[in-house]
Amino acid sequence: MRDPATTPEFSDFGVRRFGRVNWIGLYTLCRRETMRFMSVWQQTIFAPLMTAALFVTVFALAMGEGRGAVMGLPYLEFLGPGILMMTVIQNAFANTSSSMISAKMQGNIVDTLMPPLSAGEILTGYLTGALIRALIVAAVIAAGMALAIGQGVAHPVWALVFVVLGALLMGGLGLLGGIIAQKFDQMAVITNFIVTPLSFLSGTFYSVQALPEPFRTLAHWNPIFFLIDGARYGFVGVSDAPVWRGFCVVLVSVLVVGFIAWRWLRTGYRMKP
């Protein structure tokens, strides 16, 4: 009796599958999404590093040495992990959203939809590209912070977990935004009026404990707050909220966003250019 998990099967398109997964097609899509941003690494890797450096420089000059400690940390040490995570999630969102909206606008979305790839395989390919870009950006910025301000990593596993979850969450949201938008102007509205405010109002530059009510409570309804807070715990060992609570909130958010993206890809919702 043949083992369905290891025996090659052929789809209607003649593509060999192992365990119902088109590994060749999945690898090709992942490679395309990775090479797409690596071909312009000056914009996708070097530019985020410069942006993060400018944020740290401006706040260092504006606050000076007179800025008191935040959560028991010097301000730049408190600020660094937030800047890193904010840059990571913005790049993960930009990777999937720009890929999807560009394909729709240029009419080559059929190159992704026509091959024998399932909705799960397409989703995995797009999220893999966002994840790889996010990890590279995180590594580059972390190295820069270590050299510039001596930023260490208190809990490396937690730091990596939240970077990965942040990339998957924002990569999924970017994919949803790219599916919904029919032109670049609509994508800009989503970025400027949803993603950017949620990023800046998530405790990146301040502790949410300093906020008055009801804003302190509302901040805990923002999943990006838990990403920033979790990254801060991973790098410096302090957080506004329990780290396990943040992990659970972000994980549930990733699963919900991933399911919606899978469903839209499976039904072809708004996929026409």
The model's pLDDT over 193-225, given as tens digits with 9 standing for 90+, comes to: 888 888 888 888 888 887 888 878 888 889 999
User: CA-CA distance, 268 to 151, in Å (whole number)?
Assistant: 45
Six token digits for residue 65 = 């040495």
- pLDDT tier at 19 (50, 70, 90 boundaries)? low
Residue at 272 is within a domain: no
User: CA-CA distance, 57 to 229, in Å (whole number)?
Assistant: 22
The number of angstroms, rounded, from the C-alpha of 162 to the middle of its chain's C-alpha atoms is 10
Residue at 50 is within a domain: yes
Nearest to 223 by CA among 138, 151, 159, 165: 165
User: CA-CA distance, 150 to 145, in Å (whole number)?
Assistant: 6
User: CA-CA distance, 260 to 249, in Å (whole number)?
Assistant: 17
Residue at 15 is within a domain: no
**Mean pLDDT, residues 85-110:** 92
Residue 138 contacts residue 235 (beta carbons within 8 Å): no
Residue at 8 is within a domain: no
The model's pLDDT over 55-90, given as tens digits with 9 standing for 90+, comes to: 888 887 777 666 677 888 888 888 889 999 999 999
Domain that holds residue 42: 20-267
Residue at 7 is within a domain: no
Tokens 């599958």 belong to 17
The model's pLDDT over 25-58, given as tens digits with 9 standing for 90+, comes to: 999 999 999 999 999 998 899 999 898 989 888 8
Residue at 10 is within a domain: no
Three-state helix/strand/coil letters over 152-197: CCCCHHHHHHHHHHHHHHHHHHHHHHHHHCCCHHHHHHHHHHHHHH
Burial of 105 (0-12, 13-18, 19+ CB in 10 A): middle
Quote the pTM value. Answer: 0.88
Domain total of the chain: 1
Residue at 58 is within a domain: yes
Residue at 180 is within a domain: yes
| Sign of the alpha-carbon dihedral angle for 58, 62, 65, 68 | negative
- Max distance between CA atoms of the chain, in angstroms, equals 75
The model's pLDDT over 147-171, given as tens digits with 9 standing for 90+, comes to: 877 778 999 999 999 999 999 999 9
